């Protein structure tokens, strides 16, 4: 391998880390960078990439652990009730090493770990003495979803990715052989599953990083279009041409053009069964007669012949239809796809106005039943928060990955779920709910209204977001004896406890947090250290008194929050 590949990769990593993640350690950023390249098609946010990091002491050689069901990332509170027959479960186990070689020892370590965490007869409690808590959490997430969906006969694929700065072409045959052993280990635990073993060196990482997302796309259409000006078009296009529009060069669905779509793909639900039946039908009815069609937003459109070119493409209504079409056609050979002449109706609206886009998204998605939380990003309060954060040089992501794609710094990007967790922990004093419900915290109407309402000032939203980011940065650099994963499990309790220390009482009101924010009180390093030490000490006491519970279980317990604040007054005063 040319030394230039390593030089160029190091240069790229150095520049990106400086611009996007200056507070992360070099090893941590390399892992996150690797995860991002491996999982590029899944459009994960920085929070999701960091959440999948399990590397550190006792990681069993695994640095990243990600589980997807039907293309959606699985969290510990994911709801499987809408999943239907034959779901797709895809697991990514990623090794990310900054060395300039590929190591036989690294693969051996992964084989040993996979053999244990994928052995469903092994007690996870016993494995806690061997592996770190974050790896155990991810293994439990996988086991839980696999066991819950077992009756639906899931299709399992396990991908093992080993990334380093080495030369993929120069990998020793012994390492290739070990990778084959790893594959056999997986198949031994899950016969009939699919496996993928992939090595990525400096050149492969560079190529992946250079792969740009295209938001300017061309769509061929049939006959004449209907338009009342330059801002709206109605066209018919063949299923084949629409398929070509929504897939990339590798025939993978362009997930990033659905970021404004408010609902996830619902799988084998009734509406998608009907779409599938229409696609499989051999009668004379054209597809668009039976389907409501697709709505696309764009910032600019131009037509040449029977092709329309669109900038900043977002499919805001039609995710179910699009995904069903994609799943139907991707299984066919190229000749059969070319023959697909049935049509689909497309509405194209051209606007750059964010408020107009929000109104269109909300209106087009009220036509079928979806959870109210899915439409929340279009609420006025979120636009107000976004504007307020932006005025302070921070970025509130109402649309997933909007600011990530604009390459804004990771420590200044705040997502809706992240802000909800910060408010739940700091303002509402429910850190156990912030920890236990990472993806479902505001799906219930009552919870949403408690977190996002006009009684909480924009200053408080901003203060809480900044404080949680400070806490995460402190936890990563803290020398206090405790694992980073366990300290991260307690970060919401740490945040609440720290506010109590500043206000000088165990329980407080929203108005007192606002007063604290306006006073611009500086939090010293000593106060951070003392508060974290207090929380860790009290958590250990509670864990021991309750059968030596793991810290991730303690962190989700309401009883622990009560215990923590009952012990507040007796802990050393750090003020």
Q: What is the pLDDT of residue 480?
A: 61
Two tokens at 248? 């990339």
Q: What span, in angstroms and rounded, lies between the C-alpha atoms of 344 and 341? A: 10
| pLDDT class of 385 with cuts at 50, 70, 90 | very high
Residue 10 has pLDDT above 80, yes or no: yes
Least confident range from 95-99, 190-194, 210-214: namely: 210-214
Residue 344 has pLDDT above 90, yes or no: yes
Two tokens at 328? 């139907």
Q: What span, in angstroms and rounded, lies between the C-alpha atoms of 297 and 329? A: 24
Instruction: Identify the residue with better confidence: 479 or 223.
Output: 223
Using an 8 Å Cβ cutoff, are 450 and 438 in contact? no
Residues 506-554 have pLDDT tens digits of 889 888 898 888 877 778 889 999 999 999 999 999 999 999 999 989 9
Q: What is the pLDDT of residue 347?
A: 95
User: 395-397 and 294-298: which strand pairing?
Assistant: unpaired
Residue 302 has pLDDT above 60, yes or no: yes
Q: What is the pLDDT of residue 247?
A: 92
What average pLDDT does range 44-58 have in this prediction? 92
Residue 69 has pLDDT above 70, yes or no: yes
Residue 122 has pLDDT above 70, yes or no: yes
pTM as predicted: 0.83
Residues 349-382 have pLDDT tens digits of 999 887 787 788 777 765 444 444 445 777 889 9
What average pLDDT does range 447-456 have in this prediction? 92
Instruction: Identify the residue with better confidence: 377 or 339.
Output: 339
Residue 247's nearest CA partner among 347, 327, 344, 350 is 327
Average pLDDT over the chain, rounded to an integer? 88
| pLDDT class of 262 with cuts at 50, 70, 90 | very low
Least confident range from 189-203, 217-231, 328-342, 541-555: namely: 328-342
Q: Where are the domains of the chain?
A: 3-210, 217-370, 374-566
Residue 212 has pLDDT above 70, yes or no: yes
| pLDDT class of 237 with cuts at 50, 70, 90 | very high
Least confident range from 9-23, 404-418, 504-518: namely: 504-518
What average pLDDT does range 381-386 have in this prediction? 93
Residues 389-398 have pLDDT tens digits of 999 999 999 8
Two tokens at 398? 């109402």
What average pLDDT does range 403-429 have in this prediction? 93
Segment holding 324, helix H or strand E: helix 319-330
Residue 114 has pLDDT above 60, yes or no: yes
CA torsion angle for 260, 264, 265, 268 (degrees, to 10)? -150
Using an 8 Å Cβ cutoff, are 313 and 260 in contact? no
| pLDDT class of 266 with cuts at 50, 70, 90 | very low
Q: What is the pLDDT of residue 368?
A: 46
Q: What is the pLDDT of residue 369?
A: 44
Residue 148 C-alpha from the chain's centroid = 22
Helical spans, DSSP H, in 87-200: 104-117, 124-127, 133-148, 173-189
Residues 172-185 have pLDDT tens digits of 999 999 999 999 99
């Amino acid at each position: 391998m040319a030394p230039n590949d390593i030089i160029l990769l190091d240069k790229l990593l150095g520049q990106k880390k400086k611009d996007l993640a200056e507070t992360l350690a070099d090893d941590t950023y390399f892992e996150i960078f690797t995860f991002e390249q491996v999982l590029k098609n899944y459009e994960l946010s920085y929070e999701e990439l960091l959440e999948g990091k399990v590397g550190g002491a006792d990681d069993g050689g695994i640095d990243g652990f990600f589980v997807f069901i039907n293309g959606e990332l699985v969290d510990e509170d994911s709801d499987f009730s809408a999943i239907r027959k034959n779901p797709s479960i895809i697991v990514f186990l990623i090794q990310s090493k900054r060395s300039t070689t590929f190591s036989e020892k690294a693969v051996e370590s992964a084989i040993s770990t996979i053999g244990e965490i994928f052995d469903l007869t092994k007690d996870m409690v016993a494995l806690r003495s061997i592996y770190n808590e974050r790896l155990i959490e991810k293994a439990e997430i996988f086991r839980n979803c696999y066991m819950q969906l077992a009756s639906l006969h899931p299709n399992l694929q396990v991908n093992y990715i080993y990334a380093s700065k080495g030369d993929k072409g120069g990998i020793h045959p012994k390492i290739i052989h070990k990778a084959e052993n790893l594959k056999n280990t997986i198949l031994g635990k899950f016969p009939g599953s699919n496996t993928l073993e992939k090595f990525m060196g400096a050149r492969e990482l560079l190529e992946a990083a250079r792969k740009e997302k295209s938001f300017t796309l061309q769509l061929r259409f049939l006959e004449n279009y209907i338009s009342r000006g330059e801002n709206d078009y109605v066209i018919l296009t063949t299923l084949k041409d629409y398929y070509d529009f929504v897939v990339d060069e590798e025939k993978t669905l362009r997930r990033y053009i659905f970021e404004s779509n408010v609902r996830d793909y619902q799988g084998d639900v009734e509406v998608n069964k009907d779409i599938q039946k229409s696609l499989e039908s051999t009668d004379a009815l054209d597809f668009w007669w039976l389907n409501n069609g697709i709505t696309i937003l764009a910032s600019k459109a131009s037509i040449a012949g029977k092709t329309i070119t669109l900038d900043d493409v977002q499919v805001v209504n039609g995710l179910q239809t699009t995904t069903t079409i994609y799943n139907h056609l991707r299984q066919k050979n190229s000749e059969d796809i070319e023959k697909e002449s049935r049509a689909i109706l497309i509405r194209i609206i051209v606007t750059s106005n964010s408020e107009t886009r929000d109104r269109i998204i909300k209106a087009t998605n009220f036509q079928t039943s979806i959870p109210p939380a899915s439409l929340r990003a279009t609420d006025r309060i979120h636009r107000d928060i976004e504007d307020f954060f932006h005025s302070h040089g921070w970025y509130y992501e109402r649309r997933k990955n909007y600011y990530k794609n604009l390459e804004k710094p990771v420590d200044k990007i705040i997502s809706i779920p992240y802000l909800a967790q910060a408010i739940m922990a700091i303002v509402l004093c429910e850190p156990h709910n912030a920890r236990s419900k990472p993806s479902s915290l505001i799906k219930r109407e009552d919870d949403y209204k408690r977190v996002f309402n006009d009684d909480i000032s924009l200053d408080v939203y901003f203060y809480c977001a900044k404080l949680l980011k400070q806490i995460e940065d402190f936890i990563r650099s803290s020398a206090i004896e405790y694992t980073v994963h366990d300290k991260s499990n307690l970060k919401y309790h740490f945040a609440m406890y720290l506010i109590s220390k500043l206000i000088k009482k165990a329980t407080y009101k929203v108005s007192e947090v606002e007063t604290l924010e306006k006073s611009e009180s500086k939090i010293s390093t000593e106060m951070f250290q003392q508060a974290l030490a207090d929380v860790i000490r009290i958590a250990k006491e509670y864990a021991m008194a309750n059968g030596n519970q793991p810290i991730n279980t303690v962190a989700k317990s309401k009883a622990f929050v009560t215990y923590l604040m009952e012990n507040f007054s007796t802990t050393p005063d750090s003020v």
